[in-house]
Amino acid sequence: MLAIQLHDRIIESKDWATILFIICVAIIAINKTISSVRFNEFVRLAYSDKYTKIYRDSSNLMSGFTISMFVLQLISFSFFTLLILNQFNRAEKTDLIVYIQIFTFLSVFILSKFLIEKIIATAFKIEEFNEQFNLLKVNYRAYFGFILLPVNIILFYNSFDSDWFFWTLLITLITINITTYLVALKLYQNLLLRKIFYFILYLCTLEIAPYYFIYNWFTKN
């Protein structure tokens, strides 16, 4: 008698990723349509500081443009983290649950850090600097998220076995962070000289320590 053995068919669904990529493209299209002048200055952020000078007022931190690009940044960074985990065999890039966990972690981490920074800034009376510095960080990281989006799309839908490419992107991200601090030092040097102790304390506790602990946790697991 012929024995028929059935096997579960494994289907890797990429529909959820496609939907998120479409949302990101829609965010870009809407911002380009509604705020064309601002968007055009934003895309030049890599080689021009005109955008940071024009929109340096702290009220821009809660503008629709900034918030929408922050959402795009979270989606893009979460995808890139998932792709890195996939590259080093820590997760599957089509795993929606892992992506949600990464997105949730990044959201909670960034927002918690933002609230702690506001508390410390109030205690040390450097609220103005903190708000403008946060705006600067959001702008540069949103820009990197914007640049990273097409890279994520290519890597997600194609196989890429070279580790050096991922290390290059990680180094670029670190470079952007360092650039943000250097720009902040240049823009607010007079204020920082008067508050240099608080700035060093702020830098060590909220900008260096969290990433060190994340790196330490990742390398030990």
pLDDT of 12-49, one tens digit each? 577 899 999 999 999 999 999 999 999 999 999 877 87
Q: What is the pLDDT of residue 84?
A: 86
Q: What is the pLDDT of residue 89?
A: 82
Q: Is the pLDDT of residue 3 over 50?
A: no
The domain ranges of the chain are 15-27+50-220
Q: What is the pLDDT of residue 141?
A: 86
Confidence of residue 11 (pLDDT cuts 50, 70, 90): very low
Q: What is the pLDDT of residue 33?
A: 95
Tens digits of residue pLDDT in 193-211: 666 777 777 777 777 777 6
The DSSP symbol for 14 reads -
Helices (H), the chain: 15-34, 36-42, 50-54, 64-87, 96-124, 127-157, 163-187, 189-194, 196-202, 209-220
Q: What is the mean pLDDT of residues 128-140?
A: 81
At 41, which amino acid appears? E
Mean pLDDT rounded to a whole number for the chain: 81
The better pLDDT of the pair 154, 218 is held by: 154
The better pLDDT of the pair 116, 29 is held by: 29
Distance (Å) of CA 135 to CA 1, 22, 181 = 72, 26, 12
Hey, CA dihedral for 145, 151, 154, 155, is it positive or negative? negative
Q: Give the HSE-up count for residue 48: Cα atoms under 13 Å, Cβ half-sphere.
A: 8
Global confidence as pTM:
0.81
Q: Is the pLDDT of residue 2 over 70?
A: no
Q: What is the pLDDT of residue 193?
A: 67
